[in-house]
Amino acid sequence: MSTKSASRHPQWGGRFSEGVDAFVARFTASINVDQRLYRHDIKGSMVHARMLHKSGILSLDELNAILSGLEGIQADIEQGKMDWSIALEDIHMNIEARLTERIGGAGKKLHTGRSRNDQVATDIRLWLRDEIDEITAEIKRLNHGLLRLAEKEADTIMPGFTHLQTAQPVTFGHHLMAWFEMLCRDAQRLSDCRKRMNVCPLGAAALAGTTYPIDREYTATQLGFDRPASNSLDAVSDRDFAIEFCSAAALLMTHLSRMCEELVLWASAQFNFIELPDRFCTGSSIMPQKKNPDVPELVRGKTGRVNGHLIALLTLMKSQPLAYNKDNQEDKEPLFDTVDTLKDCLRAFADMVPNIKSKPETMGEAARRGFSTATDLADYLVRTGMPFRNAHEVVGKAVAFGLKTGKDLSDMTLEELQQFSDTIKADVFDVLTLEGSVSARNHLGGTAPEQVRLAVKTALASGNY
């Protein structure tokens, strides 16, 4: 390991008698990670400069030079002309040093009344706010596809499961609407997170505020925040907004993972309920018959990655005293990767789900197995006046008979059913069919095709998904 020292730091080296060790410079630098914040860093710096001019700290000429210089730096970055320096540590110092090179002494005045502590806290909030908006839009695109597919599959009957055992018949459209409800809550959580996050740390400076006559209300308004952060210590040191986001992201990924598990099961030869589009699957190098559901499997796997990032951020913050600590440099990689992973998974789902093809005959046949209308028979008996517990016992005996004879309830004759209760009449077959079973659950939240179509119509009309 080299112990060679670099030169003294141009932005803060005045207090030090020797340069930073070359390894330490690399170890402590974050520029390879945080350079993706450049747009938001420049945006924050422009508003800060305008505020300094408004407060009489910068002249008009200095302001114009700073704004022009920052615009030029952004163009250089976007054209790949920016040379990032590890010696300058981070995005903030790289941009400030480049600005001073371009416009001279006025560039050194930009940092008046702020610190990298409030600067990075502001940058991350600005960046994450934009990312939440993009993620929410992708959830809405996925949900729109779900709604259209649910409408199309409102009459398609499939088995509903508990414990992965056949329970009662439902419609495929109703099942898809359950996914829709999960994702709606995910979008609401992200919206709530955005509201709490949307306060401006700029002006908190290092930890105690600043002696300069700054206008924090102006800065917050110009950057689109709801208000300035109320406490300077809290503003620079806490990352609970990032943790809250990662928590919402972990829940969203958990929902996607559950959907993936069902897609993988349903696409298997054993279930054969659906067919996934070829472009979202892969084959085998030695088994030519294979069609592997790689996209759902990979999304399911990436859930663990996002969960891990949440734990990493919680652990990062758990023992930090106020105010800012270098530990917080470690907040960006898990946060950035969570956002990237979430966006990729949502994009894959939004493109894949509307193109899923159901297999109604296989689904219906599966629903006919497993005595899925047993509860309907019990409800029928209750309506004749029989107590539910007695009805439960009667149906249990009928199921036992069916297991012995290999007959489903709907395949039994009236005489066979009447051996368990003489209250059973010919109209029992109206409730023992799959269609009769799902249609009978015609209430808000029920699986009846009419209710599925109504739920889809209501959601599309509201646009609040």
Give catalytic residue positions: 163, 284
Report residue 170: phi and psi, to 5°.
-135, 175
Using DSSP bridges, classify how beta strands 357-358 and 274-275 pair: parallel, antiparallel or unpaired: antiparallel
Check if the beta carbon of residue 132 is closer than 8 Å to that of residue 120. no
Round to whole Å and give the CA distance between 269 and 265. 9
Return the H-helix or E-strand segment holding 160. strand 157-162
For the record, the structure tokens of 197 come out as 């996050």
Q: Check whether the bond before 323 is cis (ω within 30° of 0).
A: yes
Check if the beta carbon of residue 215 is closer than 8 Å to that of residue 55. yes
For the record, the structure tokens of 273 come out as 């309920």
Query: Residues 6 or more apart from 301 whose CB is under 8 A from it?
Result: none
- The dihedral of CA 294, 345, 460, 188: what is its sign? positive
Check if the beta carbon of residue 320 is closer than 8 Å to that of residue 237. yes
The amino acid occupying position 432 is L
Check if the beta carbon of residue 417 is closer than 8 Å to that of residue 428. yes
For tokens 């004879």, what's the residue?
A: 405
Residue 4, SS3 per DSSP: coil
Q: Which of 293, 275, 447, 296 is nearest to 363 (CA)?
A: 275
Cβ of 184: how many Cβ atoms within 10 Å? 16
Round to whole Å and give the CA distance between 387 and 207. 70
Round to whole Å and give the CA distance between 22 and 449. 68
Round to whole Å and give the CA distance between 193 and 188. 9
Check if the beta carbon of residue 305 is closer than 8 Å to that of residue 337. yes
